[in-house]
Each structure stands twice: as C-alpha cells, then as structure tokens.
C-alpha cells in the first residue's frame, strides 16, 4: 500500500540519513509494476545515473483530468524517489502539477541532504519530465477546449530532442533560488592588521625578525586558516572519492562539493550550479572553451578578438585555434595609458567575429575592463563573450548574468583558496553546444561499444576524479570573502593602490605601466631607469618584500610596452599600509644603492 505525502513526510522526519536510504529502498520495493511495452527510449528520463522510464496517465482528457505517474528504474533507491513523486503528484491535474512546489516537499523530507548530487540530477530530470508532460496535456486540452490558459510558472518550453512535436517537452524550470552574494558594506572600517592574523604564513617571523610583506597575490593569494582547516577536515574526517560511493564518507564529500558549488554560483550570480564545472584552473578552463566550443563554432575566415594585454592563458589557446581553423586573431587596440580603446572597437569587431575573449582585469597593467559594454557589442554581432576572470573575480563583484558573460574562467588559488582547482562557468545554452575535450569516467551518461553519450553539464566537463579537497575548500574561501566583504576588501585594496602609486612615483626614474588608479585594480607594474627588475627583486627579497618580476606571462604586452620585464606588486585583503611603507623604502634603498654603484663605476673609469 503506497503512503500518502503526509505519511511520508512524517515517516522521514524521524529518520537519520542511513535509515532514510533504507526507507527509500523499502518504498522502492513496493512500487507497482510498470508496463513492459512502455520501457522505450522515448520514455527514458535522461540525466539519471540509473535507467528510468516514466509515463503519465490521465483519467479523461480535459484540464481537470487527474494524473497518475508511472515509472520504474533499475535502482531501488530511485524507485523509492519515484514513490515520493507519485505521492506528491498522483491525483493532481496538469495545472496543479505545474503549480505544485515540489521543492518544498523535498525540503520537508530533507531529501537534498541525503541523496547524491547525481541522484538529485536524476530527480530533477524526472520532475522536469512530469512537468513537461503536464504542460503538454494542458496545451492539448486548451487547444481542444479553446479555453483560456492561465499564467504558467514555467518560463520556457523546448521540444525534447527525441520528440520534437512537443509531447514530452522539457520545461526549463525557474532558476534555482540562490541567495545574493553576502557582500558586506564597503563603508565599514577594515582592519587589515587584524585580518592578517588569520593567515598563518604571514604571521611568521623571517630571519632577522622581519615579517613577510607579501605583494604577489596576483600570482597566488595566501590562505586564511579556515581554508587550511577545511582541507584538513576533509582529509581527516570524511575523505573519499566524489560522486562514486553511497557510503557515508562519499555522501558527505558529495554534499560538501555541492555546497561549494552553491557558494560559487551565488558569488558570481550564476543561474544554477549545473553551469559551473570544476577545472584545474583558468588555463585549463580557457583551453576547454577554445577547443570544446571554439573548435566547433569557429570556421575558416572567422575572426577571434582578444587584446594585447591578455595573459598567455587567454592568448595562446586562441592563437592555436585560429591557426587550426584558419581563422584570424585580431586585437582590440589599447589606449596610450593601457586601457582597451572602445572607440576603436568597430575597427576590429564585425559579423565574422565569433569569439571575444578578454580579461576582466589585466594581470600586469591592473586595468579593469568594461566587460558589460564589450559583451553587449560582442553579442550584437553574434559573438561569444569569454571572460578570463583570474584577476577580476578575486577583487570585483562578478555578475555573469548581469554582464551577459557566456563563459567565465577563474582559479581558486588567486581567491584565497587552494591550487589545482578553478571554475568554468558557461551560460547553459553555451554549455549545451560545447563539446568536452577530456573524456573518461563520470562525464558520460552511457558508453556503448561504438559511441558514447555525454552526461549533462557540469559532469560532461568533469572527466575523471575531481580535485576534491581543493574544490570543497574553494567554497570555504568564498564564504570567507563573503564574510569579510568583497566590497570592503576592494575598497581597502584601492586605498593601498592609491597610496603605493603616489609613494612609488616619488622615486626618481620609476615608471608605472597602466592607467590611473580609478581605472585599475590592485596591481602595479613598474620599471626603474637603469635598475633591472631582477636586481631590484634581490634587494626586495632581502627585506622580506615578496614581489614578482619578469614578463608575467604577457610577452606580447611587454613587447608592446618596449620592455622585457617589469616588477609587479599585487595586493590582497591582508596587505597593510605598513607593507606599502616597507615596499617603498626598499625600492628607494635599491635605487640609492644602484646610484652609488653607478657613481663609483664612473669615477673608477675616469
């Protein structure tokens, strides 16, 4: 005898997670038989880890005809989930099914916490199929009755690929509700000295009693204790592979990964977690987009538009793709002060442009690029907007929907998180039209001996074992940023930027590359006459000041600037005014030493 919805909710409320799984199994055993003739490909629900077939039956034809869901699976747990859907939906009319808040049922059953993300995807697939069938019944009866069809909560209807008539159409559901980024008020006081205490690596004493002045966050940011502790927690308490085992460690890992995905989605305002794939980092993510999307959509004679300020990660893949596809790589011209010259955008953007790939913030010039405007113009010619967010995401509020970004890539290690993990965000339609470039386990829905069918995103882009611990700890890093306040961090960094710029420019012979501070983020690259960046770095290092020198993976930009190397300082939330003082005094010391040795040299040659 099948339980009613109220009975199920009551039963579930008393159960712990293990018992819930057993109870789901029991429900599965009791599921009524499914008609053999209905086990067809057309009735299969895709996106489920196990096989699922689902049909609906109605008593009568009109709008008031009650529905009965019939479904089956080769997994008994999934059969248990089907029993829940039956308890929730059976006996309701098409309109009631569409209006019914099934998520509230899942919440009262605490289902989301106790089933694996893959099962959750499968459950979502079943709900979408039921809603689609209800919607097509509603349309059918509306056409037949010529009756008024009341407003529908579903936002769009697409024909199911296996059934273009629309019978069995999939309903695109309302985006998952995601709380807006909890960005604290930018105006409140920011105590960087105190905040620094959360970073163990910065609290140590260097030889000679100096404290580290870490000014290389643009390369990799330091991690607060909470991130380090989270990595340790996973290692010590519940480490297991992800999306594989149904034992409690595996379930916990899956849960933590999904929770991290949710935090990331909210952080960049992604419509849902399915459009976020974990990657090893920005570089790999950009290659995935160039060769997974670009190879499919860029043809001979097409154009790819980037800029000279791009990091090699957002330069070389496009250069390679252009070569491979016989396309042309073009560049948005730069202004004299190192901004993208949007007045000249029409010279290089046209209806042959298939991709515009631009960094949100330059890793050398610090320039913050007007992504919204570029995306608008790119879309106007039908191009795809790719944003290298490696430098911008850690410093500026990113809104992938508001900015109409098609693909956004960023790295965990620049976001106060671990190395080895990054994020590929893709607009759902773009992810659907993108091929994976890595193949193997987890990314498939079904492998046949002669071909394979890909899983839905994000699994489609997550072949093999994920960087599990790092991906979980990235969620913790984002929670830390939210708690600290991205806007407050940004404002603090801008104050440091202004102070450092002013003080550095007082040093004779020092030239900063890039625009004035109002157009840039927390990065300063500079050169000093006659003092090679490498020599400067030696003095800085002796004083405990950690900066980077070289071409910073932007050789074309350095060619354009006419220098082979620059010194770069980049700030993070933990930098202080004292760091700026030590930096500037150390630079001055190196300059003075250089001047003295130049004087000595010239007097000895006289």
- By rule CB under 6 A, what string of x and - marks binding of each residue 551-570 to ligand PMP? --x-----------------
Name the residue nearer to ligand PMP (CB basis): 100 or 293. Answer: 293
Q: Which of 388, 486, 418 is nearest to 184 (CA)?
A: 486
Q: How far is the CB of 311 from ligand PMP (least distance, A)?
A: 4
Q: Choose, by CB under 6 A, the member of 136, 154, 283, 494 that binds ligand PMP.
A: 283
Choice among 48, 275, 359, 553 that is catalytic:
553
Distance CA 523, CA 309 (A): 14
CB 416 within 8 A of CB 397: no
Angle value at C-alpha 191, between 189 and 194, nearest 5 degrees: 150
How far, in whole angstroms, is CA 519 from its chain's centroid? 25
Q: Choose, by CB under 6 A, the member of 359, 387, 582, 591 that binds ligand PMP.
A: 359
The yes or no reply on residue 539 touching ligand PMP (CB under 6 A) is no
The yes or no reply on residue 470 touching ligand PMP (CB under 6 A) is no
For the question of residue 203 being annotated catalytic, the response is: no
Name the residue nearer to ligand PMP (CB basis): 138 or 387. Answer: 387
> Helix 17-29 vs helix 248-267: angle between axes, to the nearest 10 degrees?
100
Q: Choose, by CB under 6 A, the member of 130, 195, 313, 528 that binds ligand PMP.
A: 313
Choose one: 127-135, 309-317, 451-459, 484-492; the region binding ligand PMP (CB under 6 A). 309-317
Choose one: 231-239, 270-278, 279-287, 398-406; the region binding ligand PMP (CB under 6 A). 279-287
Q: Which two tokens stand for residue 453?
A: 């069918």
**Full DSSP string of 570-588:** E--TT--HHHHHHHHHHHH
Choose one: 44-52, 156-164, 345-353, 387-395; the region binding ligand PMP (CB under 6 A). 387-395
The yes or no reply on residue 388 touching ligand PMP (CB under 6 A) is yes
Per CB under 6 A, contacts with ligand PMP among 408-437 are: 411
Name the residue nearer to ligand PMP (CB basis): 198 or 554. Answer: 554
The yes or no reply on residue 481 touching ligand PMP (CB under 6 A) is no
Question: What are residue 267's phi and psi, to 5 degrees?
Answer: -60, -35
How far, in whole angstroms, is CA 429 from its chain's centroid? 16
Name the residue nearer to ligand PMP (CB basis): 179 or 555. Answer: 555
Q: Do strands 452-454 and 444-447 pair parallel, antiparallel, or not at all (unpaired)? A: antiparallel
CB 553 within 8 A of CB 421: no
> Helix 577-605 vs helix 533-542: angle between axes, to the nearest 10 degrees?
120
CB 270 within 8 A of CB 401: yes
Burial code (b: 16+ CB inside 10 Å, e: under 16) for 502-531 equals: ebbeebeebebbbbebebbbbbbbbbbeeb
Name the residue nearer to ligand PMP (CB basis): 349 or 553. Answer: 553
Name the residue nearer to ligand PMP (CB basis): 121 or 363. Answer: 363
Helix (H, G, I), strand (E, B) or coil at 434: coil
The yes or no reply on residue 307 touching ligand PMP (CB under 6 A) is no
Q: Choose, by CB under 6 A, the member of 282, 307, 567, 594 that binds ligand PMP.
A: 282
Distance CA 167, CA 137 (A): 8
Partners of 550 in the β-ladder: 566
Choose one: 383-391, 425-433, 563-571, 596-604; the region binding ligand PMP (CB under 6 A). 383-391
Cis peptide bond prior to 259, omega within 30° of 0: no
The yes or no reply on residue 274 touching ligand PMP (CB under 6 A) is no
Q: Which of 230, 279, 251 is nearest to 476 (CA)?
A: 230
Distance CA 399, CA 404 (A): 8
Q: Choose, by CB under 6 A, the member of 363, 570, 576, 586 that binds ligand PMP.
A: 363
Give the binding-site size for ligand PMP (rule: CB under 6 A): 14
Choose one: 167-175, 183-191, 281-289, 571-579; the region binding ligand PMP (CB under 6 A). 281-289
The yes or no reply on residue 314 touching ligand PMP (CB under 6 A) is yes
Q: Which two tokens stand for residue 532?
A: 């090679």
Name the residue nearer to ligand PMP (CB basis): 283 or 594. Answer: 283
Per CB under 6 A, contacts with ligand PMP among 211-270 are: 219
Q: How far is the CB of 527 from ligand PMP (least distance, A)?
A: 19
Distance CA 356, CA 226 (A): 37
Q: Could you list the active site residues? A: 553
Give the binding site for ligand PMP (CB under 6 A): 219, 281-283, 311, 313-314, 359, 363, 388, 390-391, 411, 553
């Amino acid at each position: 005898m099948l339980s009613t919805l109220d009975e199920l909710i009551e039963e579930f409320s008393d159960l712990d997670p293990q018992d819930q799984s057993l109870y789901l199994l029991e429900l599965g055993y009791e599921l009524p038989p499914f008609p053999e003739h209905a086990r067809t490909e057309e009735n299969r629900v895709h996106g489920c880890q196990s096989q699922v077939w689902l049909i609906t039956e109605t008593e009568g034809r009109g709008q008031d005809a009650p529905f009965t869901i019939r479904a089956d699976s080769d997994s008994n747990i999934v059969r248990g989930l089907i029993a829940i859907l039956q308890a929730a939906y059976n006996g309701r009319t098409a309109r009631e099914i569409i209006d019914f808040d099934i998520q509230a049922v899942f919440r009262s059953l605490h289902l989301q916490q106790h089933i694996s993300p893959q099962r959750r995807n499968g459950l979502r697939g079943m709900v979408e199929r039921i809603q689609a069938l209800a919607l097509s019944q509603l349309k059918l009866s509306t056409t037949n009755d010529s009756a008024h069809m009341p407003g529908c909560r579903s936002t769009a209807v697409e024909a199911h690929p296996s059934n273009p008539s629309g019978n069995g159409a999939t309903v695109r559901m309302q985006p998952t509700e995601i709380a807006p980024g909890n960005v604290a008020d930018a105006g409140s006081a920011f105590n960087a000295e105190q905040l620094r205490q959360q970073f163990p690596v910065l609290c140590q004493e260097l030889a000679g009693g100096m404290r580290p002045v870490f000014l290389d966050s643009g390369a990799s940011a330091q991690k607060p204790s909470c991130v380090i502790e989270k990595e340790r927690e996973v290692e010590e308490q519940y480490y297991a592979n992800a999306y594989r085992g149904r034992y409690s460690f595996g379930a916990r890992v899956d849960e933590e990964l999904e929770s991290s995905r949710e935090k990331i989605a909210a952080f960049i305002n992604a419509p849902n977690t399915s459009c976020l794939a974990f990657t090893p980092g920005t570089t790999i993510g950009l290659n995935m987009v160039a060769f997974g999307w670009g190879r499919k959509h860029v043809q001979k004679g097409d154009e790819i538009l980037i800029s000279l300020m791009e990091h090699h990660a957002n330069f070389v893949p496009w250069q390679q793709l252009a070569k491979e596809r016989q396309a042309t790589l073009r560049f948005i011209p730069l202004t004299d002060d190192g901004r993208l010259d949007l007045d000249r955008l029409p010279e290089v953007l046209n209806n042959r442009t298939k991709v515009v790939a631009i960094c949100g913030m330059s890793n050398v010039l610090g320039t913050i690029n007007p992504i919204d405007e570029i995306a608008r113009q790119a879309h106007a010619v039908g191009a795809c907007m790719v944003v290298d967010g490696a430098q911008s995401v850690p410093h500026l509020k990113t809104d992938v929907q508001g900015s109409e970004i098609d693909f956004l890539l960023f790295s965990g290690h620049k976001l106060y998180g671990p190395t080895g993990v990054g994020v590929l965000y893709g607009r759902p339609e773009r992810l659907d039209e993108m091929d994976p470039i890595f193949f193997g386990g987890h990314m498939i829905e079904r492998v046949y001996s002669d071909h394979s069918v890909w899983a839905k995103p994000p699994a489609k882009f997550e072949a093999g074992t994920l960087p599990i611990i790092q991906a979980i700890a990235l969620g913790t890093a984002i929670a830390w940023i939210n708690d600290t306040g991205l806007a407050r961090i940004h404002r603090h960094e801008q104050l440091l930027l202004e102070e450092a710029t002013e003080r550095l420019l007082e040093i004779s012979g020092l030239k900063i590359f890039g625009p004035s501070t109002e157009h840039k983020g927390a990065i300063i690259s500079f050169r000093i006459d006659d003092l090679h960046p490498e020599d400067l770095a030696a003095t800085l290092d002796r004083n405990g000041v950690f900066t980077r020198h070289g071409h910073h993976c932007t050789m074309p930009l350095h060619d354009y600037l006419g220098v082979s190397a620059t010194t770069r300082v980049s700030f993070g939330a933990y930098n202080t005014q004292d760091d700026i003082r030590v930096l500037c005094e150390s630079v001055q010391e190196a300059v003075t030493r250089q001047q003295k040795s130049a004087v000595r040299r010239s007097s000895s040659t006289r």
